[in-house]
Structure 1
């Protein structure tokens, strides 16, 4: 029953995706069936032993829809593991969506939690058939990301999906609005417990010797209709000769009843069966093989023992048709575990260790780690978590690995150089540049202690290969941080050292080092060398890169082509990538980035209407599947387009909104929102002294460095200075800088920058003949790829390209909106566009991931500002005044 699957490439216990079989004496309650069928969202919440799971399982037997049943345990408190089981269960409902889901999770390491959740829900909307998701034992979940996913899912539940949560306590999920809207069915203790008639039906089908009405009344009153209590009573009565004598000893409150009945049940079993029950209570699920290994019993003995327990109705539930996996009733198991802790001679720690070994042999590593930790076998847990680091890191699952590592006591973490290394890298993957440093330092200290001294007995090494690679992996972390911070001189030094180290090591991830070398060349403006490396990494089949990582190299290569001015190559690469993804029906989580780069190409060619259209398409994909820094760069490009059209207020608002989406990225940033803010200030601020101060500071900073020229990733900042600083004041100081930057651009064959600097250089030239020659030179370079953007931004003559300066529709709309008595906000304009496309309120809610009531609120404000009363009127007026085409 263990099969391959899951985003962590672990084996999954398939029985967790099977609903429990109903007991033979199950009593169906029709009112529960009606309630569960009435609402698409159900919360079944009551204490252990109330028949929650059985009631839902019975209802599912009457349904024609497909269902995904997922029984949750403590080890499912891991976001990756949770998604792995959901994906596996979804395969039986919609294989195509499950495949896309699997593909999506391979690339989610680069996504924010909010974006990830939006992507998951968008995928669930693609399921083509009616289906029901049941999450059993949800009280085991404490992972915030899972709770957040469930809350958003409830808000945007697909129309063909029903959802049921079974829990012992109310989960921290937002049910308030659903209750107020009467969209939530709640099944509580009062509805689950048996009434007198149910109790009579239950005993009549369970006890061979029938009970009289007085006896039934008595047991009903004493149990208060609690299902588990009645089941234990029935089990006990099967071995009782005189029922009235048993009644005389039966007294006390409900808690006492359960303890008393458990003692009675255990007492009536043989010593061997009693020990078997107690020991196997450590398992959430168990099979014959697992029990035989952990209990160190012959397989045949285990089979006979379990058959006996099944015959005696000892709360044993079969989880699959093959009768291979079982579990105890939850309340019964809980009571058994309490008893087990009192039996020191049964050695709980030893049992957990053997359970961990068995699961580890089955490659079910999450479960193995859970049992090692449960039995306080910390060294075994340390060993396995350490060995899992390299595998999970390669699978881009360092966040899940970190969750495992955090479960270890601190002293076990700090005694392992590999664990310290992994901890640091997992934090760095999350963008925590500060806290990762102390873990890297600790890893280095432990590594040095092992190699430089003999006092290393307390230092644990379970993965010798990774241990030996610690120096190269620590150096990789320094290179990564240098790339993020744009310190390419340091990156050059690190890559040279990394290359030397790699030659003398067994480091298997050479492609990472090569990518750092590529980033270093890119960051220094050596785009030709950067392209060669990145193209080779993408196309080299021997480096073992996943499809999602290869897709990532596509946008890297396209962006370098664009910066180099090779727009046709970039466009062809992006169009082919989009076509391949859509033809193969792959998950489009990079398509938003591809369309955003197509918009960038069109903006450079001066086709601003096309640029806005591509941005709109990019946004459609980006709302559902955005990747890394897409949202930041989307606002970056849109702000620049607004600035080209003189819409400075809109540009400023777009810049401020985009700044909240900053993403730490090792890829060089040749234009930032800070650059655009500086550009806006230079264009619009009336305070000349402030501008002079900023220019003086930039020149002073450059002169204080040993470099003659600014770094490549600072060139845009200097283009702004060169283009905006008064020539009569700064001409002599800025002219040599501009000339040298132009020369460097020519040397590195960066046509786009050559055109920019050629046009800017004309500001510093007095001779009209020279100015004309420079202009002709810029035009020659621009004709190769139809580049017009530099003429819009840096040419002195405003009328030299009148055909490009026709304001695009997006800019005209922004101007019209600005002139309204009360302009529409960005979100209101967005909703107006969706209304015009025929979207319903619910479709708008799902598309924008906002609540249905929020959509209505936006509609009311929108109608008020346009002075209309309904949707059709809003669209008609928006077209009449020019807000819509």
Structure 2
């Protein structure tokens, strides 16, 4: 995962100038910031807000995180990436989990990212002050909301200081009423007569009388920039008194005054340097040379700083500078008025210089300033891949939309990228008519280009690429429509009919081109094409040695393998995924997928303690992030384990948490899943009437009889179990037959095994014992290679009876492997003394006891046990390799396997869990 392009000068505290007006009373006031969550410095430009904060930061005895904000920081991902970088620069080791969520295209994960960041900050021992300078440039409401969230939930060791020209869109009145805000405003920042005298004499080096100082202070109203401008002019006047008498006017007058009294008195070459160098917001010698042609640009910059010509250093090395904002505005206004052709040329040169550095956030605004949108489109085409890898999709979306429709028609790659990004960021949004029309026009323009004869200039390979992009976009439309409407039949049709195209494209399409197909395939349960597509992408990633991309697709492959009943392969891939996560230090939520899969595999193999621990761990790690794909799967395992272990209170609690998480996320797709688990719990509690009442009024029964969708399969199985509990065997068998037909058609062996288990139970309970034995033989044959256990036990007393009958008549006819497997399953049904009679269709959860199971998914091998002992001693991988006389790669493989089997995050966690399980 690439880091975004972050300029170090933005989170570097501006150095304090040697000749600085000391404002002790304001510094003392700022020291009170530890008493309140927010300190606000709000005043017009030129009142010394930044200078005051940098002076305070230089004497603060805690950690100071500084961030100078710009227009480009209105992207939430970029804004918070900079905040995290600033916190790290200050010495706070935080932000890895939050960054993972910021890189996600799901905007809903922003709150989760902030929750993670706040929790990490709360664990720091030292106080930290976060200073956001120039906050007035932030206009994105999502950022105001997210900053308010941080304020409301901030840890007690975090203090926020904002400098802004306008009051920020935060609940200031509420904070003020509660005494939770310290305010420093324009009246506080104005220089009084004594301070004005110190500034003019000590900082600007002028010799003035008290009367002259008082007059200047009155004329400028204590505005420090006005005093500085006046002082620069005074240096060039022999009669100071006459100048001061004539010096009058508003701030606007003073800005106009700069041109005549400062710029025109400078040498022509220095004027030219100032005007040309004012185009970028930050400058160094290299970009100044590119813009001005001045080979001695570094010396020129240092000279301007010595002359106090409003040039402020941004680092201690004096490499990067910026002009005072108002002074730069004057320079730009003069440049645009006097040399309009140079104004556009310089913006173009600045854009090209930044593009060569790989700094898209600086290049594109300069390109846009040229108003040459073809030029902008060309630059955007060069940075789509990099910014998409960095997760800055919202920034890309905003930039591309600034291009006129006519330009986008001539750049179909950008048009299609805009459409894909929009789908990724707003997959289920209700669009305004204007937005719908715009999106439709964009896609139609690409379609028309390919259909007409105007595409002859496009190479054949480019035409093919665009057609494949359009196919992906069409699939998005169909999948979104089906999911939003809850039309599972249509979704199944999409999944079956659409073939994922082979993509030779940029990173944006390589990473996300599979998304609509995978979404359709997964929800419809059509996993074979999903596995094929992922395996091909995985192979390409391996050839390209792109291990990061392999992580991003491997979890989807494992989910498909489990659904296809390939538990052993899933376990192997899970181990590969865990090793990649460990070696690449992949953060949450991806880092939690192996834990979820461990829980699901452990439940299938009846390793209940491991399943419970892994499910709980997956929930704890992803609940703050509201990552629903992992949360829902982990909650399902937790509910089922609690039911099996007889902890019905725990099952109710887990179900309640599951429902609350889904309500907060607002995802209707999980609703049937949750309802089915509730009905399952009612059956176990003996509340058959409530379960029947739900079954009679749910719309899912009729859907299951006409077509089956994987996302609701567990709900349909609960309906069959309710029919079994009612002894309505024909209805149960009819439903199961419909489910089996669908699963067989899509070769979904995991589903087939579950359905066959309940067919055995229904047939046995109904008295069709010969048919039950026949189905059981098929079930045992399918389940044995993968070691399924729990699926038999969950089917309850009827399954126990069917196994007993099968062993009595079929055991000798079956293969030794299958006979041993059936006997092992039967043994797991061993009853406790005094067991009550189990009614047909009920679970043996609370009335049977499974044989003591190993605490691990698989027992440790002798070599893994040796590695575990050495880990407990604190040995490094290299030391372990030397002690065991094996390669370092082999050691890493054994360590990864240990982490997987123990469901551990790291070495310390693995050793602690091993001690709990008496493995050490």
Q: Rate the CA distance shift 1:636–1:28 in 2: closer, same or farther, 3 A.
A: same
Q: Rate the CA distance shift 1:277–1:34 in 2: closer, same or farther, 3 A.
A: same
Of 655, 658, 663, the residue aligned with 1:660 is: 663
How far apart, in 2, do the equivalents of 1:798 and 1:735 lie? 21
The structural deviation recorded for 1:290 is 2.0
The structural deviation recorded for 1:15 is 2.8
Map 1:186-335 onto structure 2 (within 5 A): 186-206=183-203, 208=205, 210-260=207-257, 263-295=260-292, 297-300=293-296, 302=297, 305-335=300-330
How far apart, in 2, do the equivalents of 1:25 and 1:736 lie? 89
The structural deviation recorded for 1:228 is 0.9
String of CA shifts for 1:422-469, please: whole Å, max 9, x gaps.
Answer: 121012112436769866754554344444445579xx98x9976651
Gaps of 5+ in 2: 483-487, 799-836, 850-920
The 10-residue stretch of structure 1 (719-728 or 410-419) with the greater mean CA deviation from structure 2: 719-728
Residue in 2 that maps onto 1:805:
846
Of 359, 362, 376, the residue aligned with 1:364 is: 359
How far apart, in 1, do the equivalents of 2:497 and 2:141 lie? 41
Residue in 2 that maps onto 1:855:
none
How far apart, in 2, do the equivalents of 1:585 and 1:394 lie? 17
SS of alignment partner, residue 68 of structure 1: strand
How far apart, in 2, do the equivalents of 1:671 and 1:785 lie? 29
The 10-residue stretch of structure 1 (419-428 or 185-194) with the greater mean CA deviation from structure 2: 185-194
Q: Rate the CA distance shift 1:6–1:403 in 2: closer, same or farther, 3 A.
A: farther
How far apart, in 2, do the equivalents of 1:247 and 1:197 lie? 17
How far apart, in 1, do the equivalents of 2:464 and 2:740 lie? 46
The 10-residue stretch of structure 1 (406-415 or 643-652) with the greater mean CA deviation from structure 2: 643-652
Residue in 2 that maps onto 1:495:
499
How far apart, in 2, do the equivalents of 1:806 and 1:673 lie? 25
Gaps of 5+ in 1: 704-708, 809-885
Residue in 2 that maps onto 1:29:
23
Of 22, 45, 48, the residue aligned with 1:48 is: 45
The structural deviation recorded for 1:722 is 3.2
Of 72, 75, 84, the residue aligned with 1:75 is: 72
The structural deviation recorded for 1:137 is 1.1
Q: Rate the CA distance shift 1:689–1:95 in 2: closer, same or farther, 3 A.
A: closer
How far apart, in 1, do the equivalents of 2:464 and 2:662 lie? 41
Quick check: 1:429 aligned with 2:429? no
SS of alignment partner, residue 469 of structure 1: helix
The structural deviation recorded for 1:620 is 2.2
String of CA shifts for 1:636-695, please: whole Å, max 9, x gaps.
Answer: 555666887777986885565344366889xx9997346557878997666979956768
Whether the 8 Å contact between 2:565 and 2:751 is mirrored in structure 1 is yes
Of 370, 373, 395, the residue aligned with 1:375 is: 370
Residue in 2 that maps onto 1:57:
54
Q: Rate the CA distance shift 1:750–1:207 in 2: closer, same or farther, 3 A.
A: closer
How many residue pairs get aligned? The number is 784
Whether the 8 Å contact between 1:132 and 1:161 is mirrored in structure 2 is yes
How far apart, in 2, do the equivalents of 1:417 and 1:326 lie? 39
The 10-residue stretch of structure 1 (189-198 or 575-584) with the greater mean CA deviation from structure 2: 575-584
Whether the 8 Å contact between 1:78 and 1:403 is mirrored in structure 2 is no
How far apart, in 1, do the equivalents of 2:337 and 2:448 lie? 43
SS of alignment partner, residue 183 of structure 2: strand
The structural deviation recorded for 1:51 is 0.8
The structural deviation recorded for 1:119 is 3.0
Of 167, 170, 173, the residue aligned with 2:167 is: 170
How far apart, in 2, do the equivalents of 1:364 and 1:83 lie? 18
Whether the 8 Å contact between 2:289 and 2:295 is mirrored in structure 1 is yes
Residue in 2 that maps onto 1:134:
131
The structural deviation recorded for 1:170 is 1.7
Whether the 8 Å contact between 1:558 and 1:574 is mirrored in structure 2 is yes
How far apart, in 2, do the equivalents of 1:33 and 1:342 lie? 41
How far apart, in 2, do the equivalents of 1:663 and 1:522 lie? 20
The structural deviation recorded for 1:48 is 0.7
Q: Rate the CA distance shift 1:465–1:371 in 2: closer, same or farther, 3 A.
A: farther
The 10-residue stretch of structure 1 (470-479 or 581-590) with the greater mean CA deviation from structure 2: 581-590
Residue in 1 that maps onto 2:33:
39
Q: Rate the CA distance shift 1:609–1:405 in 2: closer, same or farther, 3 A.
A: same
How far apart, in 2, do the equivalents of 1:247 and 1:631 lie? 71
Q: Rate the CA distance shift 1:492–1:115 in 2: closer, same or farther, 3 A.
A: same
Of 782, 788, 791, the residue aligned with 2:790 is: 788
Residue in 2 that maps onto 1:418:
413
How far apart, in 1, do the equivalents of 2:51 and 2:638 lie? 55
String of CA shifts for 1:542-578, please: whole Å, max 9, x gaps.
Answer: 3658655433444334433443455566567657756
TM-score (norm 1): 0.75
Quick check: 1:473 aligned with 2:514? no
Residue in 2 that maps onto 1:758:
757
String of CA shifts for 1:197-244, please: whole Å, max 9, x gaps.
Answer: 212212221455521111122212222222111111211111111112
String of CA shifts for 1:292-333, please: whole Å, max 9, x gaps.
Answer: 3234x3323x55654553343211112223333221112322
Map 1:716-735 onto structure 2 (within 5 A): 716-725=714-723, 735=733
Residue in 2 that maps onto 1:871:
none
The structural deviation recorded for 1:338 is 4.2
Whether the 8 Å contact between 1:416 and 1:443 is mirrored in structure 2 is no
How far apart, in 2, do the equivalents of 1:373 and 1:518 lie? 37
Residue in 1 that maps onto 2:559:
559
Quick check: 1:401 aligned with 2:401? no
The 10-residue stretch of structure 1 (357-366 or 62-71) with the greater mean CA deviation from structure 2: 62-71
Quick check: 1:384 aligned with 2:379? yes
SS of alignment partner, residue 43 of structure 1: strand
How far apart, in 2, do the equivalents of 1:118 and 1:107 lie? 15
How far apart, in 2, do the equivalents of 1:343 and 1:684 lie? 86
Q: Rate the CA distance shift 1:532–1:280 in 2: closer, same or farther, 3 A.
A: closer
SS of alignment partner, residue 284 of structure 1: coil
How far apart, in 2, do the equivalents of 1:615 and 1:634 lie? 5
How far apart, in 1, do the equivalents of 2:222 and 2:393 lie? 48
Q: Rate the CA distance shift 1:52–1:240 in 2: closer, same or farther, 3 A.
A: same
How far apart, in 1, do the equivalents of 2:770 and 2:185 lie? 86
How far apart, in 1, do the equivalents of 2:699 and 2:581 lie? 47
TM-score (norm 2): 0.72
Residue in 2 that maps onto 1:17:
11
Q: Rate the CA distance shift 1:774–1:658 in 2: closer, same or farther, 3 A.
A: farther
Residue in 2 that maps onto 1:822:
none
How far apart, in 2, do the equivalents of 1:395 and 1:207 lie? 46
Whether the 8 Å contact between 1:658 and 1:673 is mirrored in structure 2 is no
Q: Rate the CA distance shift 1:432–1:617 in 2: closer, same or farther, 3 A.
A: closer
Q: Rate the CA distance shift 1:678–1:200 in 2: closer, same or farther, 3 A.
A: same
SS of alignment partner, residue 621 of structure 1: helix
Whether the 8 Å contact between 2:276 and 2:291 is mirrored in structure 1 is no
Residue in 1 that maps onto 2:629:
629
Whether the 8 Å contact between 1:25 and 1:202 is mirrored in structure 2 is no
How far apart, in 1, do the equivalents of 2:702 and 2:420 lie? 35
How far apart, in 2, do the equivalents of 1:691 and 1:710 lie? 17
The 10-residue stretch of structure 1 (200-209 or 54-63) with the greater mean CA deviation from structure 2: 200-209
Q: Rate the CA distance shift 1:309–1:179 in 2: closer, same or farther, 3 A.
A: same
Q: Rate the CA distance shift 1:803–1:578 in 2: closer, same or farther, 3 A.
A: farther
The structural deviation recorded for 1:513 is 7.3
Residue in 1 that maps onto 2:891:
none
String of CA shifts for 1:490-510, please: whole Å, max 9, x gaps.
Answer: 3343317x25xx6xx778877
Map 1:576-725 onto structure 2 (within 5 A): 581=581, 586-604=586-604, 611-627=611-627, 629-637=629-637, 656-660=659-663, 672-673=673-674, 675-676=676-677, 698=702, 702=705, 710-713=708-711, 715-725=713-723
